Amino acid sequence: MADSPHEGAYISWTEKYRPGRLDHLTGHINVIRQLRSWASAWKDGKPPKKKALILEGDAGIGKTTAAMALANEFGWDVVELNASDARNLESIRKIVTRGAMSRDITDVDGFSGRSPMKLKMILLDEADNLYERGASVAEGPDVGDRGGKRAIIELIKLTKHPVILIVNNLYGLTSGAGSSLNFTCEKIRFRKLSPASIAKRLRQICESEGVMYTDDVIMAIAERSGGDMRSAVSDLQIISTGKQRIRVVDLDVLGYRDTKENIFKVLEKVFNARSLKASRAALRDMDEDINTLMLWMAENVPVEMGHPADLDRAYAVLSRADVYLGRVRRKQNYKLWSYAKDTIATLPISKHFPQRGGGRYNFPSYLKSMSRTKDSRARLKETARELGKLTHTSIRYQKEDALQRMGLLCLRDPEFASHLLSRTSLGKDHLKLLTRGKLNEKEMRSIIEGAESIRSTSTAPREIGGGLASFINEEEEKDTVKVDIAPEPEEKEEKEKAPHQASLFEF
């Protein structure tokens, strides 16, 4: 893969150093084993039971690289479709009918293989980005991914060639119309790369490029990449371009670095200020957003304030500042910012008792864990909504009181679980969440099959309050379906205030 063109031409290091062989892939030892065992099943020419493989994982950790390397190792040609291609029913079907079903050499398009009987790997990158609802009207009916999931299912059913689907988020692919993919595909999850393994690769690249480096610059890049090898390599390339030696200061050109450095300094200055004047000055010179500052402050107040009385005083300050910020947000009264800032400046006054081990500040974990758990919170809400509908109770009641119990009952009695699923539109992900991952694949599968058989035999309405109610789509804000409208009395809309402030926790 890494055969560079002309000397001196710019070539991206992420491409140049993309491993061409599985053995050169950083980390992912288990993944490589799974990949090989799936691919080996194709070796004798007969397709295995699971003809498709889903690779799931965050951006930049080597999913596409691994797929390409796998094809390389097994001598497969690659037919690639990614998000920039239209992947609607038609274009995928074209692949199915023209190539994937047959194995002879008369194929067209990507399937004009040179040697007969050679397998071609069909690679669908970004398969969780299918726009199932169809393209906008302006784009016309052909460019969307309308029916893309159905087409993928069809493709997998008919293909005589290995198929690999790559996703960041498995649920994006297997939700709704894609649920059967859970059973028909082999799944491999790629874990985040550790900073150490990223650093190792960065060092190799530096050595191969003849760039001198210090350990702290390598570690700094590796740590900030958040497990994303691609971004780490590209960061390395940016700061190394035109240089023979790189140092930590070179990182300044990369925007994100400043944030952390600056915030650290601000925290240090504020917490250690000997006077209100000094802490005000530190805050005045800060070019960080005040909301970001609040996050860091809240995270690190316990680091600086060990005594309960100090901590309470400090939080009283933050709480007060937060109220100002809330009023700024709601009333658009930006004047109040200065009060928030000055209130924060009084933080060091809260400290009456010395604290050992201060000054070691933590990165605010909160936002990260909010975004990490975003999907599972969405599943949780769907579960709560469905069970709420079934039992005539609210989402809140379900979350606070009922879900745990339902999960327990599902664990106690698979029949109960099947029944529950059959009456709702909940699937495997929800079941897994509900039972806290305590069921194995086989158990979940048999529960889901049980639910399907109940559904197919039952004539009972799936949920109470259907009928006319069903035209009001849960997800849709506007009423799009036409029904007979009762004669409308004189329309005189009252002036209503702005909608209720959405919770900050709704991301």
Partner 1 sequence: MQEIWTEKYRPTDLDEVVGQKGIISRLTAIVKSGNIPHFLFTGPAGTGKTTSALALVRKLFGEEKWRDNFQELNASDERGIQIVRTKIKSFARAAPLGGAEFKVIFLDEADSLTSDAQAALRRTMEKYSNTCRFILSCNYSSRIIPPIQSRCSVMRFAPLKQEDIKEYLGRIEKSEDITITDGGFETLMYISQGDLRKAVNILQVAASFTKTVDTDNLYTSSALARPEMISELITLALKGKFGEARERLEDLITQGGLAGEDILGQIHRELFNIPMDDELRVRVLDAVGEADFRLVEGADERIQIEALLARIQLLGTRKDHSF
Select from 214, 333, 369, 453 the one that contacts partner 1 (CB under 8 A). 369
Q: Choose one: 60-68, 152-160, 237-245, 463-471; the region binding partner 1 (CB under 8 A).
A: 463-471
Select from 90, 142, 252, 401 the one that contacts partner 1 (CB under 8 A). 401
Residue 432 touches partner 1, criterion: CB under 8 A: no
> Given strand 77-81, what is the order of strands in its sheet?
77-81, 120-124, 163-167, 52-56, 185-189
Q: Quote the CA–CA distance of 15 and 233 in Å, as a whole number.
A: 10
Cβ distance to partner 1 smaller for residue 116 or 489: 489
Select from 412, 437, 441, 453 the one that contacts partner 1 (CB under 8 A). 412
Select from 36, 160, 280, 329 the one that contacts partner 1 (CB under 8 A). 329
Tell me the number of residues near partner 1 by CB under 8 A: 83
Write the binding mask 308 to 327 for partner 1: x where contact by CB under 8 A, - elsewhere.
xx-xx-xxx-xx--xx-xxx
Cβ distance to partner 1 smaller for residue 29 or 483: 483
Which tokens go with 487?
Answer: 């004669």
* DSSP state, residue 218: H
* DSSP state, residue 371: H
The alpha-carbon radius of gyration of the chain (Å, integer) is: 28
Select from 396, 437, 438, 453 the one that contacts partner 1 (CB under 8 A). 396
Cβ distance to partner 1 smaller for residue 88 or 418: 418
Q: Choose one: 2-10, 13-21, 232-240, 413-421; the region binding partner 1 (CB under 8 A).
A: 413-421
Q: Which residues touch 106 (CB under 8 Å, ≥6 apart)?
A: none
Select from 243, 245, 265, 405 the one that contacts partner 1 (CB under 8 A). 405
Nearest distance, CB of residue 432 and partner 1, angstroms? 14
Are 303 and 361 in contact by the 8 Å Cβ rule? The answer is yes
Cβ distance to partner 1 smaller for residue 138 or 468: 468
Q: Which residues in 439-458 contact partner 1 (CB under 8 A)?
A: 454
DSSP 260-301: HHHHHHHHHHHHH-SSHHHHHHHHHS--S-HHHHHHHHHHHH
Residue 462 touches partner 1, criterion: CB under 8 A: no
Residue 404 touches partner 1, criterion: CB under 8 A: yes
At 462, which amino acid appears?
R
DSSP 424-470: SS--HHHHHHHTTT-S-HHHHHHHHHHHHHHHHH--S-SSTT-GGGG
Q: Which residues in 465-504 contact partner 1 (CB under 8 A)?
A: 465-469, 471-472, 477-479, 483-486, 488-489, 494, 496-497, 499-500, 503-504
Cβ distance to partner 1 smaller for residue 218 or 305: 305
Which residue in 351, 322, 355 sits closest to 339, CA to CA? 322
Select from 141, 176, 437, 461 the one that contacts partner 1 (CB under 8 A). 461
CA trace torsion 15, 17, 22, 23 (10° rounding): 180
Which residue in 222, 173, 233, 229 sits closest to 59, CA to CA? 229
Q: Which residues in 338-367 contact partner 1 (CB under 8 A)?
A: 365-366
DSSP 336-360: HHHHHHHHHHTGGGG--S--TTTT-
Q: Which residues in 70-99 contact partner 1 (CB under 8 A)?
A: none
Residue 289 touches partner 1, criterion: CB under 8 A: no
